[in-house]
A and B are shown apart, each in its own frame.
Chain A
Amino acid sequence: MAPFKEIKEKPVKIDKWDTGALKNALDDGAKKVLIDIHGYKESHRLMDGRLFICTIAIGFALFALVWDYLYPFPLSRNVLMTCALSYFFLMGILTLYLSYIEKGIFLVALEQDRAMMEPDNEWKLSSSLRKYDDTYHLTMIFVDGKTKEERSATVSRRVDNFFDENGVFCFDLYKPVIDRLKQDLSNEKKKD
């Protein structure tokens, strides 16, 4: 029933002058190719890590708020100090996590071995689109499950290739670009 679902979906229409919306639409499109069409499994590990750090940080803030309400200020001094320090420490960790671990990767897709004998291959996608720039850079990283070998390829395209006058996202024009990139990485694999 998969083809029918696609037709029913409302086409993605965005404000084409909004850089963030453009990037999100293209990222979502690339995700759709790998997950919905190729049927890879999405791994939420990276995002879950970020959510975990944020949740703990907000937990500290809420705790400080409640504690200060129950035991007004001079009494709550030590608890407030601990919470404030922990909160800013976690914000530092979050920044490090975003810049050194997540590195703008918005999708980790697992390509499962059909026979379930070998570990999954990983496809990681990261992208960048600078403000006032119309070139979208998409990097695909392939990690071989068995050999742990890593290969990456980048494609740069002007965003107006994939959106019409009104800001409707043309998925059918975008899909070949992703497939091509993926094919290039796979072919390299076969050459070796």
Chain B
Amino acid sequence: MGAFDFLDDVRRMNKRQLYYQVLNFGMIVSSALMIWKGLMVLTGSESPIVVVLSGSMEPAFHRGDLLLLTNYREEPIRVGEIVVFKIEGRDIPIVHRVLKVHEREDGYVKFLTKGDNNSVDDRGLYAKGQLWLEKKDVVGRAKAFLPYAGIVTILMNDYPKFKYAILGFLGIFVLTHRE
């Protein structure tokens, strides 16, 4: 007794209430998931919202800025646009500006990128032997941004224990408190 008094709430619930409690927690998670998947469908991008993790695009974007991406097939890639792309062998996508574009009549496109704050183009970042990016590497193109809105993500990325502590605490809170 005493230390576990907060579990009394749970002890007094019947089977249906317990199940609803779990469902309630599930619905919080599912709502977030379905909003995310819905955004994916709307924007055509596999990751419609990203957080800028490095300072390579300063002064346009700073660490912690939130970007909204779209990736419509029919929209051509143009010089000066800011694209988010994946490189084989790297987990984290990169946000950089398009520097050069080559287009063929059959629709094939290859392009080169560079970070505004970097002194050289991105060939050094690409996979070994890769000189150009192609359409399949693109995650999306930056359409809007919210300055510093993603700072929590940066904190969580830098301190993983902080992330698990918050998630664990929220989970226990939702499961043990009735409605």
Contacts and interface: CB of A to CB of B under 8 A. Distances in A.
A21 B20 contact: no
A151 B40 CA distance: 51
A64 to B, nearest CB: 5
A50 B20 contact: yes
A74 B23 CA distance: 30
A57 B20 contact: no
B27 interface: yes
A153 interface: no
Quick one: which of A54, A65, A81 has the most chain B CB within 10 A?
A54
Interface string A38-55: 000000100110110011
B84 to A, nearest CB: 14
Contacts of A50: 20
Contacts of B5: 13
Contacts of A88: 34, 38
Contacts of A77: 41
A83 B177 contact: no
SS class, residues of chain B in contact with chain A: helix
Contact of B179 (A20, A64, A72, A81): A20
Interface in A49-81: 50-51, 54-55, 57-58, 60-62, 64-65, 68, 72-74, 77, 80-81
Contact of B16 (A44, A58, A81, A84): A44
Contacts of A24: 9, 12, 178-179
B46 interface: yes
Contacts of B16: 44, 47-48, 51
B140 to A, nearest CB: 11
Contact of A64 (B20, B29, B37): B37
B127 interface: no
Interface string B27-55: 10111011001101100001000000000
B20 A84 contact: no
B177 A54 contact: no
Interface of B: 5, 8-9, 12, 16, 19-20, 23-24, 26-27, 29-31, 33-34, 37-38, 40-41, 46, 177-179
15 contacts: A10-B8, A20-B177, A24-B12, A24-B178, A28-B12, A55-B23, A57-B27, A61-B26, A73-B46, A74-B46, A80-B38, A84-B37, A84-B41, A87-B31, A88-B38
Instruction: Please name the 10 residue pairs, one residue from A and one from B, whose CB atoms are nearest each other, closest first.
Output: A61-B30, A84-B38, A73-B46, A54-B23, A87-B34, A58-B26, A81-B41, A80-B37, A84-B34, A84-B37
